[in-house]
Structure 1
């Protein structure tokens, strides 16, 4: 009874091995045993392209006519041959920069995705679906932030290099050459290198910072008076920097586009249609282009993490799970019978030995009593 009670109460660890489990078997075992289940991977390094898919959806402006050749040709055909800060002169360049932003972001993502897909995902044991998705999403977020940061830093580095070396822009929007005085030896005018100063908003000198901006406008050819200020669009020391600080406010407004078209005399025809405000977006019309660049001009990402593909590439040879529990009735009965059988054998041999010892001792006592009795008889007879 003591043995049965002890055997039924003691805790024991049971280990079970399942060879070459398929995904359905693994899922069933994991639901039942959770973290007690371990399945070592045959392939511990798996390329992320084997189970992760990322598809970016870009901002609608990158799919619109405003970054296509027809719109750029329409604006370029309206520009005159003189350098001017008028939108009719710089509009084509500004939207060409915007088109370049879309193209560069798409190329950057395409190239960086190849590197991301070729990166190895390391796991010694099979990860359950939730843990795999959490770790994969962490890798994805790291990839997005790193790629976007490097993308924006490339523009900042180019801007700082141009500013530090005081290089002239193609439209002389940051520096200009102006004659200062006449020199007799040699007979020529001396030319000075003068930085451009913009007065709106505030006074900003291109010699101090390349980020000075000025609202883009359409001016009267004779008087120079401003006829139309293009909402959200800027020019400045560097057109790339001005475009980064601009927004798409006018492109969402059909009235604004019609006003621009009314003042532009272009030899190329173009029917402009405003961007749709009904398209779901995490940005609004007043979001500046630089904010879009920090997100790689991406509106959303379609992410697909396939646990089945990961499991097939991992190829676990076996799964092991351990549970701590009590001995079952069959084990207790078997152990008890084994104990009783052993005791019977032991007692059988012990009993033989004990009986022999007792018999030997009893034989000696009888012999001694017999000898004592015979000696007493002999003594009586000899009297």
Structure 2
């Protein structure tokens, strides 16, 4: 259903009619147009923030482990979910402040109405009077722009919806309870004789009928956030040439004993191989030194013998 179709039908069907200022038919067009605008504004805000979010890049010197990436991504998403609705609410609060701060008179005269004390005088002065809302009609639009009352149509209470000084303020305090109930929807439908339009109630599994519109927009009209962290894609993008890792383990007593025994066993084998070779080398060195001593002794003896002969 195109929302503009039935809103136009409502508008033109009541354009020449006059309702009480607390009759919901005076507010229905304005409130549903506001609801459409809020949905559009929320969607645009989210789209803009996502574009900015996707433009951010993550730079690291080394490849990060999966746990680190997931923690960083989750922390970033939490911050995004907090900051994005704030951007949306700042825009909405600016609109509300302009309307309330300047005392703008509603086109439906829902906050102020004007009257002449003497209508028989052609140029009599026009006076203004604020509207009153609340359970006991004790909340004045002159002092509080957020005054509201329960919405009714010919005495029928429209569940969830509120009327008040401004259509927007009343909508923010309203719930969409009526739109979850086909009976309530049919009551609204029959008020305007929409025979060619089919309405379907909202899905209870999607959102709660008891949440106010203000609560919904604080969540940016989002029922549930979903985050998809693709570590494999991150890993492929980095494409590391090599990975170096260290394994730190505590060596058990049995392993230490086995290692020492193995070490000694290895030494035994080595000694069996090299001991004969070392013995032969040492033997040759010993024989060489003995031969040197014999040669030196003979040389000394010959020298002494020669000296004796000379004498």
Q: TM-score range by the shorter chain?
A: 0.7 to 0.9
SS in 1 for 2:76: helix
Aligned residue number for residue 54 of structure 2: 117
Partner Cα distance (2:211, 2:64) in 1: 40
Aligned residue number for residue 270 of structure 1: 197
State the Cα deviation string for residues 102-135 of structure 1 (Å, max 9, x = none). 2222222222222222211233333344443332
Partner Cα distance (1:189, 1:83) in 2: 26
Partner Cα distance (1:231, 1:93) in 2: 18
Question: Does residue 295 of structure 1 match 2:232?
Answer: no
Shift of 1:243: 0.8
Aligned residue number for residue 183 of structure 2: 255
SS in 2 for 1:142: helix
Ranked by relative contact order (alpha carbons within 8 Å, sequence separation 6 or more), the top structure is 1
Q: Single out whichever of 191-200 and 87-96 deviates more from structure 2.
A: 191-200
Aligned residue number for residue 148 of structure 2: 213
SS in 2 for 1:171: coil
Shift of 1:370: 6.2
Aligned residue number for residue 134 of structure 1: 71
State the Cα deviation string for residues 198-235 of structure 1 (Å, max 9, x = none). 2337732334332221222224xxxxxxx212111012
**Correspondence list, 1:282-361, <5 A:** 283-323=207-247
Alpha carbons of structure 1 residues 285 and 360: separation in structure 2 relative to 1, 3 Å: same
**Correspondence list, 1:27-46, <5 A:** none
State the Cα deviation string for residues 287-343 of structure 1 (Å, max 9, x = none). 11111111211223444332232222222232223346899x9xx98xx98xx99xx
Aligned residue number for residue 103 of structure 1: 40
Structure 2: runs of 5+ lacking an equivalent: 252-258
**Structure with the largest fraction of helix:** 2
Residues 215, 234 of structure 1: 8 Å contact kept: yes
Alpha carbons of structure 1 residues 323 and 251: separation in structure 2 relative to 1, 3 Å: closer
Aligned residue number for residue 139 of structure 2: 204
Shift of 1:155: 1.2
SS in 2 for 1:78: helix
Residues 26, 108 of structure 2: 8 Å contact kept: no
> Given the two structures, how large is their TM-score scaled by the length of structure 2?
0.74
Alpha carbons of structure 1 residues 201 and 153: separation in structure 2 relative to 1, 3 Å: farther
SS in 2 for 1:208: coil
Partner Cα distance (1:324, 1:214) in 2: 70
Alpha carbons of structure 1 residues 363 and 181: separation in structure 2 relative to 1, 3 Å: farther
> Given the two structures, how large is their TM-score scaled by the length of structure 1?
0.61
Count matched residues.
288
Aligned residue number for residue 81 of structure 2: 144
State the Cα deviation string for residues 255-290 of structure 1 (Å, max 9, x = none). 22233334x24587434333343xx23x32111111
SS in 2 for 1:300: coil
**Structure with the largest fraction of strand:** 1
SS in 1 for 2:151: strand
Residues 78, 267 of structure 1: 8 Å contact kept: no
Aligned residue number for residue 159 of structure 2: 231
Shift of 1:369: 5.8
SS in 1 for 2:243: strand
Shift of 1:359: 5.4
Residues 69, 231 of structure 2: 8 Å contact kept: yes
Alpha carbons of structure 1 residues 209 and 317: separation in structure 2 relative to 1, 3 Å: farther
Shift of 1:247: 0.7
